[in-house]
A and B are shown apart, each in its own frame.
Chain A
Amino acid sequence: NAGVTQTPKFRVLKTGQSMTLLCAQDMNHEYMYWYRQDPGMGLRLIHYSVGEGTTAKGEVPDGYNVSRLKKQNFLLGLESAAPSQTSVYFCASSRGGSYGYTFGSGTRLTVV
């Protein structure tokens, strides 16, 4: 099925641990995004990419890094997890903003 796939779906980390969230899309979309969703705050953009090999900071980039080595994949890394990074993370892709985004089903991350 075409779409956006996020792995893992759930993860618990200890403070200071690192991890990488993987987002893969099979729609040949140029644009990819990572958002975090927290209660009462909607979705906030962490980082985004306008094409293979490019990345840019969003609204809340601190504590995260990203890479887009292949067009279909967009990785989100946490080098040293903090409890404030407990959230639900969504990846999205688009062939242009006017077409709307296709979202993955999310990764629920808990940092203890």
Chain B
Amino acid sequence: AQSVTQPDIHITVSEGASLELRCNYSYGATPYLFWYVQSPGQGLQLLLKYFSGDTLVQGIKGFEAEFKRSQSSFNLRKPSVHWSDAAEYFCAVIDFGNEKLTFGTGTRLTIIP
């Protein structure tokens, strides 16, 4: 079965610093991968997705992610974080057999001034 692992439970970065959130996947074929963001008390919002082609994908809010098959990774990056980026971030992989998303356990991002 497919799965994703987010090894970092909590990350703290300074405002204006760069950010990288890690995601490792396990999937037999070419995975379709997603990053979602959840602000406090809110639902999840899609940041970006990867299906095929260019391994560097751009998303909303200035985020990007790079797919690396050799490392089974799909890490999320942002060059300069803003205080409004404080949230929880989830990586997910789709199972096309039943159209189900499997989520990682999430990484909580704290921004300090």
Name A residues whose Cβ lies closer than 8 Å to a Cβ of B: 4, 31, 33, 35, 40-45, 48, 50, 56, 58, 90, 92, 94, 96-98, 100-101, 103-106
Contacts and interface: CB of A to CB of B under 8 A. Distances in A.
Contacts of B90: 42-43
Given A42-B90, A50-B98, A105-B43, A100 B34 contact: yes
Nearest to A56: B98
B44 interface: yes
Contact of B42 (A40, A42, A50, A105): A105
Given A41-B105, A42-B90, A43-B90, A96 B44 contact: no
Contacts of B101: 33, 45, 97, 101
Interface of B: 9, 32, 34, 41-46, 49, 51, 90, 94-96, 98-106
A97 B105 contact: no
A97 B32 contact: yes
A94 B104 contact: no
Given A42-B90, A43-B90, A97 B51 contact: no
A97 B106 contact: no
A43 B102 CA distance: 8
